[in-house]
Structure 1
Amino acid sequence: MQQTTERAIAEWLTRDHPMPEQVWTEWATMGVALVPLGKRFAAVRMTAEVVHAAVDSDDPAQVASGLEELLRGPVVHDRRVAGVTYYALVQCDAGFAWGHNEVAPRLGAGVYLGVPRIGRCEPPGTYWVVAPRHEGHLCSPQAVADLIDAGQQRIIQGAEL
């Protein structure tokens, strides 16, 4: 990715932060920064169980490939104490009714998300499973909903066996 494109994406990600310079400092020192959701984009928090079931793999390369193909937008991987979590970045469209909050909540205004610096595409820590390709690049909420539905269906089928 060209350096100017990476810079444009990073500036787009930081634009709504009350102190954008803080984001740049956190990226430089820790590789991850807290970025506010709700204006430029929101995020859907998905468990590893649902994502891995949807892409039929827990292999990191296959998960990345599957998410790229199915969502065609940026996804953050975060390993927390409670386990692995994926965040699909989606548009802030108040007109889109999100029906998956119990399984995969849509996070928006008032929430800050740990966002890796552009170029951080592998562990350790929080990283891009699928990095944004240009400013404004987001996952379609419908594609995310379809992925969640597919993952849940595979989990149910597996439980019935």
Structure 2
Amino acid sequence: MTVGQRLIADWLAQAAPDSNGAWAEWLDHGVALLPLGRRFDAVRVPAARIHAAVGSDQPQMVADALESWLEGPVLRDLRSSLGPYYVLIEPGADWDGPDERLSTNTYLGVPRPGQPTMLTRWIVEPSQPGCLCDVRRLRALLATAEPLRTVGRR
């Protein structure tokens, strides 16, 4: 783990009431259940919508596109090929999109930076502590999903 990844992991762990508990979960399971609404919220976006918006379902192309567009952290649930993406945003950010916002009273399985797991993976790791996605950029990206899906059906 690099120094930068350690700083980011410390910042993420502080979302939990007991940051030592988050570290213990990472060590034991590779994933920590972190409460939303304190350090960050998440927008759950179906895989099909992300893939339509970026024009690919190839993992590296998706990762590159999301990193370029969103400039912030994105996780993916890997339990199925249809697993959703979780875009991490500021708590209280103005989100009015059709995709579900997850916040207070919700927990998200978050892998430790630099440590992929079988259940969930960073598609775009945080670049620094506190770096989150801008909802305006997420809206702009997702606005392309439906028109591209429609064109692809023709």
Gaps of 5+ in 2: none
Coordinate RMSD, CA, aligned: 1.8
Question: Is 2:128 the counterpart of 1:129?
Answer: no
Alignment partner, residue 75 of structure 2: 76
Alignment partner, residue 149 of structure 2: 155
Identity of matched residues, % = 40
Alignment partner, residue 116 of structure 1: 111
Tell me the number of residue pairs that the alignment of Structure 1 and Structure 2 aligns.
154
Deviations 1:123-147 (CA, angstroms, capped at 9, x unpaired): 6321100000110011101111112
User: C-alpha separation between the residues in 2 aligned to 1:84 and 1:154?
Assistant: 20
Question: Which aligned pairs between 1:45-84 and structure 2 lie closer than 5 A?
Answer: 45-80=44-79, 83-84=82-83
How far apart are residue 60 of structure 1 and its match?
A: 0.5
User: C-alpha separation between the residues in 1 aligned to 2:47 and 2:106?
Assistant: 21
SS in 2 for 1:44: strand
Q: TM-score by structure 1 length?
A: 0.87
How far apart are residue 81 of structure 1 and its match?
A: 5.0
Gaps of 5+ in 1: none
How far apart are residue 116 of structure 1 and its match?
A: 0.8
User: C-alpha separation between the residues in 1 aligned to 2:80 and 2:113?
Assistant: 24
